[in-house]
Structure 1
Amino acid sequence: MQRVNKYRFILDSSSKKYKCPNCGKFSLVIFIDSETGELMENYGRCDRESKCGFFYHPSKDGFQNCTNSKVLNFSTHDFFPSFHKNGLVEFSMKNENNFLKYLSSLFGTSIANSIREKYKIGTLSEFNYGTVFWQIDEQKKVRAGKVIQYFETGKRTKNITWMHQILKKKNEISDFNLSQCLFGLHLTQEEKISIIALVESEKTACIMSVIFPDFLWLSCGAKGEFKLTKLEPIKHRKIIAYPDCEIQKNGSTTYQEWKRKATEFNRLGFDIYVSDLLEKEANSAQKTYGIDIADFFMKEINRD
């Protein structure tokens, strides 16, 4: 009898397509973890092979048994990333946005301005004065500009885009190979703080940098972005990860998923501890809401 290979990661065979992080079109076929049934929305292949060519495989992020996969090619986007001009960052920091107004309401204008300067937070007037979270790597190269619209209350809208997509529409660039890094990564070469605290959202990193300044707060950008390629530049640092307190579609919590990944990463030489603070301290209502570490401490501060 012929041996049948079992592939852990397979491309979704359904007709459903997701938004490609490179070209912005809903043409991404995602991977499925055949062992857990998890839809891996951050990994996949763009169907627009000639015009985009984006391909991101789970084996890039240290998942076990990934060599047994139907597709082993990697995208050239990860090896030849594009960069934005540094002047674009400085230009974008001249205007105000609702997120900065929210920070001012929390901490005052002076501290809000210091957060803007520290993390290089810009504003995109063409996107209804959306907040630009620039991803600047340890070599001070600008890898990406994630643009999110906020209300003055600090709540985000569903309107999200990327600076390279805006520039393409304006015909200021013709192509861009998106290769993301951690938000705040440039600070690892500036700050002398030894312990890095890693969270999901950029907003959380900014707020926690004020509440607990003894840590260097960085953001991976989303729960699915806690991955090897983003963490590699801080491999030599002690990392405490604070995942949001939420239940995923497959029934597991983000804490459980991050802890599983951290165990694999630590075998590769990392020093990552995944905090269970929210798992232990958050009440049922907070867990249903899906709070993050900033939500938790802001409530504690307000209570005091």
Structure 2
Amino acid sequence: MLSKIERLLKFDNRRNYQLITPCCGKRNTDGKFVNYKGFPLIYGYCHSCGKATTPPALYKDEKGQEYQWNEITNSWDTDVVISPTPSLSENFSSTSNNPDQRFISESLIWKYYEVTPENNLLQYLRRTYPKEGVERVKEEYVLGSTKDGGTIFWLINEDLQVQKNKICYYQENGKRTNRFKAPYKNDDGYYSCLFGAHLLKPIRKGTDLVILVESEKTAVVGAILLPQFTWLSFGGLNGLTEPKVACLKGHKVLLIPDISEKATAISYDRISFLKAIGVNATIWDMTEGKGDDELKALKLYNMDLEDFFRVIR
């Protein structure tokens, strides 16, 4: 038997002038949208249009387990529960987790945006996926090209600061080669953040689904095919470090590792870590319990999500 939990909604005395209001869809420069203290930034009252955006009702059973009605699955869910979390409204704008972080001028990234011919990855995407989707992700992720055909993945944090970049080289079929460059070094004060972190929406924290994958290319393809989600990449099995994932605190995250025993095992280990720092994280285990030998026999071994999408299309 479930009973409703009474929650007192209090206005936050501090106005957030940077958010886009969920009711009017406008930047809150006049401060007329007031957040409910301790809840994701999507919830509050707008003095401009008079509309209140309130968090879903919360219920609990006799054991104290909290539930929320999931309108997508039409069932009670414990994974999407939105509970008051003071830290969610405390840090709308965060700085780099490395105090010595240096940043790359934004003007530099546009210098490589219109380079022709485009890199092999963009050309492959244009041949394979809808034109509109490719144009959108090129702009969203600011995908650049070098004169020697490299694909530039800019690592831009949630404050729109360019922390670093990675230059990868792809074959005409979209497969990555072993060649890559990292012009900006940790030793010089340039540290990584999650690829796509600038696309996180603080106002949708705790409601929208963020999908976290290994490679930058997988994130870009995912964003073309399923644009309703926010796609980020951690760039390698050991890329889920605390400084990089701090931006995910309070977000609902689905982690999708590549299809192998090692990648899946490491990801399960990182799920516990993510939950411990306040990330509502779950995993999609595409191995479905199969070992590497069985995956190889099925020709699924080491596939990433883009490979998987191509197989099932």
TM-score bracket, normalised by the shorter chain, equals: 0.5 to 0.7
2:239 equivalent to 1:217: no
Distance 1:191 1:129 in 2: 37
2:152 equivalent to 1:132: yes
Shift of the 220–288 alpha-carbon distance from structure 1 to 2, 3 Å rule, reads same
Distance 1:191 1:210 in 2: 22
Question: One-letter code of the match for 2:183?
Answer: M
Distance 2:301 2:266 in 1: 18
Give the TM-score normalised by the residue count of structure 1. Answer: 0.64
Q: Is the 8 A contact 1:98 1:150 kept in 2?
A: yes
Shift of the 265–117 alpha-carbon distance from structure 1 to 2, 3 Å rule, reads same
Distance 2:202 2:111 in 1: 22
Distance 1:110 1:213 in 2: 12
User: Corresponding residue for 1:61?
Assistant: none
Distance 1:220 1:288 in 2: 22
Q: Is the 8 A contact 1:278 1:293 kept in 2?
A: no
Q: Is the 8 A contact 1:104 1:112 kept in 2?
A: yes
1:34-183 alignment runs, 5 A limit: 78-95=98-115, 96-125=118-147, 128-164=148-184, 176-183=188-195
User: Corresponding residue for 1:262?
Assistant: 271
CA shift, 1:288, in A, is: 6.3
Instruction: Choose from 301, 305, 308 the match for 1:296.
Output: 308
Distance 1:114 1:87 in 2: 20
Question: One-letter code of the match for 2:296?
Answer: S
Q: C-alpha deviations, 1:117-148, integer Å up to 9, x for none?
A: 011111111xx220000000011100011000
Distance 1:191 1:216 in 2: 13
Distance 2:208 2:152 in 1: 27
The unaligned stretches of length 5 or more in structure 2 are 1-96
Q: Looking at secondary structure, tell me which structure has more helix per residue.
A: 1
Instruction: Choose from 272, 277, 280 the match for 2:281.
Output: 272
Distance 1:286 1:119 in 2: 33
Q: Is the 8 A contact 2:210 2:253 kept in 1?
A: yes
Paired residue secondary structure (1:240): strand
Q: Which has the larger radius of gyration?
A: 2
Q: C-alpha deviations, 1:225-278, integer Å up to 9, x for none?
A: 02222111111100000011124xxxxx21111111211331232211011134
CA shift, 1:196, in A, is: 0.2
The unaligned stretches of length 5 or more in structure 1 are 1-76, 166-174, 248-252
Q: Is the 8 A contact 1:246 1:287 kept in 2?
A: no
Distance 1:255 1:283 in 2: 13
Give the TM-score normalised by the residue count of structure 2. Answer: 0.62
CA shift, 1:289, in A, is: 3.6
User: Corresponding residue for 2:83?
Assistant: none
Shift of the 102–270 alpha-carbon distance from structure 1 to 2, 3 Å rule, reads same
Question: One-letter code of the match for 1:255?
Answer: T
CA shift, 1:164, in A, is: 2.6
Q: Is the 8 A contact 1:245 1:287 kept in 2?
A: no
Identity in percent: 29
Q: Is the 8 A contact 2:153 2:165 kept in 1?
A: yes
When the two chains are superposed, the root-mean-square deviation of aligned CA atoms in Å is 2.3
Q: Is the 8 A contact 2:255 2:281 kept in 1?
A: yes
Question: One-letter code of the match for 1:124?
Answer: T
